[in-house]
Amino acid sequence: MIDYPDFQLSNTQISSQENAYIKKVLNDYWIACISREASLMGRREVLTGKAKFGILGDGKEIPQVALAHFFNKGDFRSGYYRDQTLMFALDLSTVEQYFAQLYADAENDPFSGGRQMNSHYATPMKDENDQWLRQTELYNISADISSTGGQMSRSLGLASASKIYRNLKDLDPDSQFSTDGNEITFCTIGDASTSEGIFWETLNAASVSQVPLAILVWDDGYGISVPIEMQTTKSSISKAAEGFLLDEFGNGIHMYTVKAWDYPALINVFDRATNLIREEHRTVLIHVQDCTQPQGHSTSGSQERYKSKERLEWEKEFDGITKMGDWLKEMEFCAQEDLDKIQAEARDFVKTAKKNAWSTFQKKIKEDQKKVIAMFKAVDLDNDMIELVRHLEENRNPTKGDVISCLRRVRQNLISRGLAVP
């Protein structure tokens, strides 16, 4: 659990109910800080060579901690690689598991066994005996796909299943897979991917079919380096999709817009939208505007190359965590020193988790490294191979590939020289 255990409130005049609410809100802030630190340290792990690539969820923290309050057991997520905060908030991922996937640790990445790049999630639907789990008692995550947009058609299929379960009451009498179709499929997508055909096909089909689907657009204004005005009509997906709005005949979808930095507004919108979806079985598009990218799109580039100084300053000013902190102080839920303490403890929490994940990942590799070095030191190697083994020995952070590559090259060298391979 990532729950923060020590929110000491100094105001003794507040009721126990108010106290519980404040602690819940502060815990959301804590999880947001945890996620931000994971993103910051994740980027550094890539740039220092410990991981190959990182795509991170910074700038989307506040909408996701708010959304977690309305994601019920039995609901499904069909999302993409910006949703790490939601996974932390639902307690579906630990920070250690987050870094294990970043390192491609096959044994400790529970989502894809190291096969997919980081922030690609999935939860099992069957147990170890190949028996169906009770999906109505779980938060269900359909396996993420790297080609953004691919989650759209899957979300339509999942939501369509809920409609079938609602219409055919006898299909699941034990409520193992559905609770009378009351579950929601939450589909998350970035603003740039809404320009893809599959987005519009899904939106149209969901509107016609009237299925319980929540489409959440995390809009940070850019598709990698391409600004939104160059790829989205009217520079706004909600304005471009106004033709889908519900009409007087009951045809169409509901639509909401909300700012990514406005925590109370996010809570209000998600509350209204999810209640409406469960009751009416109708699709809702939620356009979450003003998301930011504190570190740019991914570890492969620098946003300073394509964003103006004014834009970068705006992103700092409207950072969701900063804005939520301002709101917490305005509501007198805490003081600045409390926020500083939470941020510092979040940094230490993530740093410890990162070290643990790296140590666990490296343990078996370093054991193999020592075995290979010891084995070849007892062999008559030529100068080139001695140098190769020396490089492996001096490698403080070897990968499994480094060890195997050295092993293979020395083996081939020994065979070519007619020597026995140990």
| Cβ count near 132 (within 10 Å) | 10
d(CA 414, CA 376): 10
Residue 24 pLDDT: 93
Residue 175 pLDDT: 94
Of the ranges 99-103, 208-212, 266-270, 378-382, which one carries the lowest mean pLDDT score? 378-382
Of the ranges 211-225, 242-256, 296-310, which one carries the lowest mean pLDDT score? 296-310
In contact, 189 and 161? CB cutoff 8 Å? no
CA angle 40, 41, 45 (to 5 degrees): 125
Q: Is the pLDDT of residue 224 over 70?
A: yes
Q: Is the pLDDT of residue 45 over 70?
A: yes
Mean pLDDT of 313-334: 96
Band (pLDDT 50/70/90 cuts) for residue 5 is: low
Residue 38 pLDDT: 98
Residue 379 pLDDT: 86
Residue 155 pLDDT: 98
Q: Is the pLDDT of residue 282 over 90?
A: yes
Q: Is the pLDDT of residue 393 over 80?
A: yes
Mean pLDDT of 20-26: 92
Per-residue model confidence as pLDDT tens digits over 339-359: 999 999 999 999 999 999 999
Residue 212 pLDDT: 98
Mean pLDDT of 288-309: 92
Residue 397 pLDDT: 87
Closest C-alpha among 91, 29, 27 to residue 320: 29
Residue 126, SS3 per DSSP: strand
User: How much of the chain, in percent, has pLDDT values that exceed 70?
Assistant: 96
Residue 270 pLDDT: 99
Mean pLDDT of 224-248: 96
Q: Are strands 222-223 and 226-227 parallel, antiparallel or unpaired?
A: antiparallel
- The per-residue DSSP string of 188-230 comes to EEETGGGGSHHHHHHHHHHHHHT--EEEEEE--SEETTEEGGG
In contact, 407 and 372? CB cutoff 8 Å? yes
Residue 10 pLDDT: 54
Band (pLDDT 50/70/90 cuts) for residue 420 is: confident
For tokens 């092993």, what's the residue?
Answer: 407
Task: State pTM to two decimals.
Answer: 0.93
Q: Domain-by-domain residue ranges, the chain?
A: 16-334, 362-416
User: How much of the chain, in percent, has pLDDT values that exceed 90?
Assistant: 85
- pLDDT, greater one: 72 or 385: 72
Mean pLDDT of 197-218: 98
Mean pLDDT of 332-338: 93
Helix axes 336-377, 16-47, angle to 10 degrees: 40
Residue 1 pLDDT: 65
The distance from CA 58 to its chain's CA centroid, rounded to whole angstroms, is 9
Mean pLDDT of 389-414: 92
Residue 19 pLDDT: 84
- pLDDT, greater one: 152 or 297: 152
Residue 422 pLDDT: 84
Which CATH homologous superfamily contains domain 16-334? Thiamin diphosphate (ThDP)-binding fold, Pyr/PP domains (3.40.50.970)
Residue 235 pLDDT: 96
Residue 15 pLDDT: 64
Per-residue model confidence as pLDDT tens digits over 179-198: 999 999 999 999 999 999 99
